[in-house]
Amino acid sequence: MKKRGIGFASIFYGTGYGNGFPDISNAIAELGKDGMVTIYAGATEVGQGAKTILSQIAAEVLGVSEKEINLICEDTSITPDAGTAAASRQTYNTGNAIKIAAENLKEEMIAIAIEKLGLNSSVGLAVKDGSIFLKIYPEKGISFKEIASLVEEKRLRRAGNFTAQTTRMDEDTGQGAPYWPYTFSAYGVEVEVDILTGTVEVLRSVCAQDTGRTINPKLVEGQIDGGFAMGLGYAIYEDLNIQEGKIKNNRLTNYLIPTALDMPEVKKILIEDPESTGPYGAKGIGEPVTIAAAPAILNAIYNAIGIRMKEIPVTPEKLIKALRKKEMEA
C-alpha cells in the first residue's frame, strides 16, 4: 500500500565566513599586448561555475564577450588570494573583487584614451567590443590593443579587493550581524511512501531560490538540480552506518547515493531582488539550494503517514520500525 504526501521547507542562509572572521577576496585585471584582458584570482573552480560567472562579471565591466576574458584562477604562484570555495561566497566576494579590478583597469584605459584622442573629458565615451570611442562619433576611438601598445611598462595591471561585511556576535546575548548578505530558499516536494516495504520515492519537486540577480540562469538551475540531489541523498539514501565508532558503509556498494533514476523533475523558480552590495546585484546560492531539500522531504513523509521522522536518512528499516511502533501505540 502506498500513500502520498506533500511537504515544504524554507531557509535563510548567511553567505561568507561570518562572525567577524576576515572575509577578503583579491583580484588583478591585466591588459595584454594583444588587447586581451586577463583576470587573476585564486577562486578555485569546484564545479559551481566560478570560471564562467567571474568571467561574465569582468566582461560586463569591460564591454566584451566573456570569451575574450582570460581567467587564471588556479595557479597560486601568480594569483592573489580570493579565499576558499566555501560558504557560497565566490560569486559575491570574488565577483566584487573582480568587478573592482576591472573597473580600475577600465578607468586607467579611459584616461589613456582621453590623452591619445585629444579629448577634454570622459563624457560621452563608450567602452565596447574591445574599443573606447565617442558615442556620437564612433570613428573617434582607440582599441584595447592600441592602448596596450602605448603603455611603457610591460602590461597594464590594476588590482581590486573586497571585504564582506561581518561582525562578531555578542557572546552574552547571541545577537549581532554575523553575515551579509543573506539568501533565501524554499522547496516543495511530493513523495510516495510504501508502507509495506518502507521505501520512499520523491515524485516531484519545486524550488524557489533567491538569487539577488541571476547572472547565469543555466548555471543556477544546474546548481539547484545538484543541490536537490544532495538533499535527497541526505534524506533517504546516504547512511554511514556508524557502529562503535566505525563506518560500516565505507564503499559505494553499501553507501547509497541518488542516481539519475532517483531524481524527480525539479521545477525552478528564480526570485530576483538585486542585492545592492553584490556584483550586478548577484548573491551566492551554492549551499542554500541543498539545505531545505531534506526537511521538505521529511515533512512530506509526515504528511503521508503521520509519523515525524527525526533522524536521517529515512531508510526502509527505520520507517518500518516507526510504522510498527505507531501500530502498537494505536
Q: Write out the catalytic residue numbers.
A: 287
Helices (H), 39-118: 50-62, 95-117
Place of cell 539547484: 224
Q: In this structure, how many other beta carbons lie within 10 angstroms of the beta carbon of residue 139?
A: 6
Burial of 324 (0-12, 13-18, 19+ CB in 10 A): exposed
Residues 233 and 314: beta-carbon distance below 8 Å: no
Helices (H), 239-315: 288-291, 293-305
Burial of 297 (0-12, 13-18, 19+ CB in 10 A): buried
DSSP 178-216: --SSEEEEEEEEEEEEETTT--EEEEEEEEEEEEES-S-
Q: ∠ CA(257), CA(258), CA(260), 5° rounding? A: 140
Residues 134 and 141: beta-carbon distance below 8 Å: yes
Amino acid (one-letter) located at 75: D
Residues 315 and 198: beta-carbon distance below 8 Å: yes
Q: Coil, strand or helix: which one is 116?
A: helix
Say how many Å lie between the first and final Cα of the chain, rounded: 19
Q: In this structure, how many other beta carbons lie within 10 angstroms of the beta carbon of residue 34?
A: 10
Residues 6+ apart with CB under 8 A from 24: 81, 83, 93, 161, 162, 163, 164
